[in-house]
Structure formats: C-alpha cells, structure tokens
Amino acid sequence: MLVENFRPGTLERWGLGPDELRELNPRLVVARVTGFGQIGPYAARPGFGTLAEAMSGFAAITGEPDGPPTLPPFGLADGIAALTAAFAVLTALRAREATGEGQVIDLAIIEPILTLLGPQIITYDQLGELQARTGNRSHNNAPRNTYRTRDGSWVAVSTSAQSIAERVMRLVGRPEFIDEPWFATGSQRAEHADELDEAVGSWIAQRDRDEVVKAFEDAQAAVAPIYDAADVMADPQFRALDSITTVQDDELGPIKMQNVLFRLSRTPGRIASAGPALGAHTGEVLGRYGIGTRSWRRCAPRA
C-alpha cells in the first residue's frame, strides 16, 4: 500500500511511477491524492483544500446573504478527501482479495466535497437555479438558525421533522403557527422564516442556555449548544463516547486528541501514537536498503 500526494508526474520522474512499482509487486495499491487529479487541464496546478472549497461550490453557498462567499476556518475539503481516500483504499484492498491484483486510486481533492454538497448540480441541470447563501437558515425547513441566550451563549435549533417543528412552536408559546396552511411543509415554513425566527429567538433570548436546553429536551425538540473546544472536552456525551482520548507523545507527554471515528464491537482499535517527530524513522527505513544516514545527508538536496 502506497499513499502519495505529489503533483502528477513526480513519481514517474523519479522512476517510481505506479507502472514500475507494480511490475515489482502486482498486488500493490497506490493511492494518488492531488488537488485536481491525474488528468485534465488543471492537473499540473498546485492544489490545496482551500481551492477545492472554492471551486466545489461550498464557498458560494456559505455565509450571510449580503456577505461574501465564506471559506471554513479549518481543512474541511482535506478532511473529507482523507476519509474518502480511506474508503477508496479499503475498496481497492477488497478488490485485491478477489482478483489478486492491486490498482491505482486517483483522488482529486475537488471531488469529494463536491459530492457532499447535495442537489446543487441536479437542481441547476433541471431547473437552471443556483443555490444562494442563506446564512444559518435553510431552504428546506424553519425555524432553523442560531439564537443567542440571555447569558450570552448561543444555541442551534433544527426542525427537519414536522413533529419537531410543532413541538418547538408549542414550547415557545406560539401554537397558532401550527394551524397556518404554510406550516405543513418545511419548504413553506422556510418562506416564513422571519416570523418563526422572531418567535423562537425572542423566547430563547429571555432564558439562559442551560434552561433553554433543558426545556427543549423536556419537550423532545431538537437543540444543541454551540460549543468551543473547551465545551467539547467538558461535555458528558463526548466523555461517554470517549470522543477525546489521551495519547502519550514522546516530546509533550500525555496529550488530548480526537479518538477513532467509530466504535467496533470486536476490533475497536485505538490511537497508538500522536505520530513520530520529523525524520525519526529515516535511519531505520534507509538502513533496510543499505543506505547509511551519512550517505543520505551527503546526497540529499538542500532546502
């Protein structure tokens, strides 16, 4: 198994292209992760997740209606591509069990995030419509927004199910909305988002966060506090799931980090290491091929 993310053609220039490697080992699976893929007019361009977030349509639909397109403050497209690459590798390894042969995976970072963005493409293809920025609102249901509580915290409310929308209206003391003809579907409720946001927002603004969350929980309505990292680490649900685990690092000692993404009943797995320091295994790896570290330093290109 080989994973690489050099620009297309780099391994080939080194004489280490997939064709050469698979002559030595036909079972080899090679995952090639690049910004734009191995083919096409942009293949040779430098590519990063930010460009994928821009080109996929993500930035165009993210942000307030009267604001600029908005990029995420973290590696969203990179993370989605990494999870997709893991799935692709597992698929290729399963195929190898059946055929006895490996294959090459061509994964462009611009594609996985594009796939996750929902019906934008088919909507434009069939209706000629482009999705606009709606801030925290949704075209599909309302009320759906973030609301500020009396103590200065924020909560998010979702009413993706009709029964939940009705419970929220009863909770905030506005049951009359439920009898309106337009309240019967999420898309129609979204057309009246101003009215619904005012009703929900004004009720929430008169209460502290914990009171709001408790009231929604008692009403079996959907709400969540908006957390920062400190809140995440203190939350009992994340603790129950062991979402944050402690890993021993050679330099920093015990450190907290996100745990394995899921729980398997028979082979749960664990994070064994935070990762080696840069160059920690260079001597060991090169030594397998009879290359001493001194020789490597002499021939390695300078930065």
149 burial type by CB count under 10 A (0-12 exposed, 13-18 middle, 19+ buried): buried
Query: What is the residue type of 178?
Result: I
- Side-chain-side CA neighbours of 291 within 13 Å: the count stands at 13
Supply the DSSP symbol for 254. Answer: E
Tokens 């759906």, residue located: 144
At 244, give phi and psi (nearest 5°): -110, 125
Cβ proximity of 151 and 208 under 8 Å: yes
- Of 274, 268, 277, the C-alpha closest to 247 is 274
String of DSSP letters for 19-36: HHHHHH-TT--EEEEESS
Judge whether 78 counts as a catalytic residue. yes
Supply the DSSP symbol for 122. Answer: H
How many other CB atoms sit within 10 Å of the CB of residue 53? 25
Report long-range pairs for 231-240 (Cβ below 8 Å, ≥24 apart). Answer: none
Q: What is the length of the chain?
A: 303
Selecting among 19, 66, 78, 194, the annotated active-site residue is: 78
* Alpha-carbon span 66 to 49, nearest angstrom: 25
Angle at the Cα of 128 (from 123 to 131), degrees rounded to 5?
55
Indicate which residues carry an active-site annotation: 78
